[in-house]
A and B are shown apart, each in its own frame.
Chain A
Amino acid sequence: MGAAPEILRDAELTPQETRESEQEWFLDAETGELKPEEQPDGDPRDRPKPVRVARWTFD
Chain B
Amino acid sequence: MTGSTGPTGPGPEGPAEPAEDRVWARHRRLTGSVLVIGAGAVGGFLAEELARIGFSPLRLVDRDVLETENLVRHPLGAPELGQPKAPALAAAIRRAFPPCDATGLHADFLELPYEQQRALVREADVVVAATDSPACQRHVNALALEVGRPAAYPAVWVDPRIRDAEVGEILWVLPDRRTPCYECAVAFRRGTADTDAARGARVDIQLVSLATAQVVTALAHPADDRAGILDPDRNAIYLHGLTPTSPGVRATFPAHGLSSRNVRVPFPARPCPACLVSRATAPGAGEAAADGPGRLTPWVAVAVLVSVVMTLLVTAAFGHP
Do B264 and A51 have beta carbons less than 8 Å apart? no
Asked if B251 CB lies within 8 Å of chain A CBs, one says: yes
Do B167 and A56 have beta carbons less than 8 Å apart? no
| Given A51-B251, A59-B43: A29 and B188 interface contact (C-beta under 8 Å) | yes
Bound Cα distance A53, B168 (Å): 11
- Chain B 131-154 residues near chain A, CB threshold 8 A: 131-132, 154
Do A56 and B187 have beta carbons less than 8 Å apart? no
Bound Cα distance A34, B264 (Å): 9
Do A26 and B184 have beta carbons less than 8 Å apart? no
The residue that A25 contacts in the complex, of B132, B155, B252, B268, with Cβ under 8 A, is B252
Q: Mark B168-179, 1 if CB is under 8 A from A, else 0.
A: 010000000000
The residue that A56 contacts in the complex, of B157, B261, B269, with Cβ under 8 A, is B157
B33 to chain A, nearest CB (A): 21
Q: Mark A17-50, 1 if CB is under 8 A from B, else 0.
A: 1001100111111111010110000000000111
Bound Cα distance A30, B197 (Å): 24
Bound Cα distance A13, B131 (Å): 40
The residue that A54 contacts in the complex, of B162, B251, B266, B268, with Cβ under 8 A, is B162
Bound Cα distance A38, B321 (Å): 63
Interface residue total, chain B, C-beta cutoff 8 A: 48
Do B261 and A25 have beta carbons less than 8 Å apart? yes
Enumerate chain A residues within 8 angstroms of B265, measured Cβ to Cβ.
Answer: 26-27, 29
Most-contacted residue by chain B among A54, A57, A58, A59 (CB, 10 A): A59
Q: B: which residues have CB within 8 A of A?
A: 38, 40-43, 130-132, 154-159, 161-162, 167, 169, 184-189, 191, 193-195, 197-198, 200, 234, 236, 238, 248-249, 251-252, 254-255, 261-266, 268-269
28 interchain pairs (CB within 8 A)? A17-B254, A24-B262, A27-B185, A27-B236, A29-B265, A29-B266, A32-B188, A34-B263, A36-B251, A48-B252, A49-B251, A50-B251, A51-B248, A53-B169, A54-B157, A54-B167, A55-B189, A56-B193, A57-B156, A57-B169, A58-B40, A58-B155, A58-B156, A58-B200, A59-B42, A59-B43, A59-B131, A59-B132
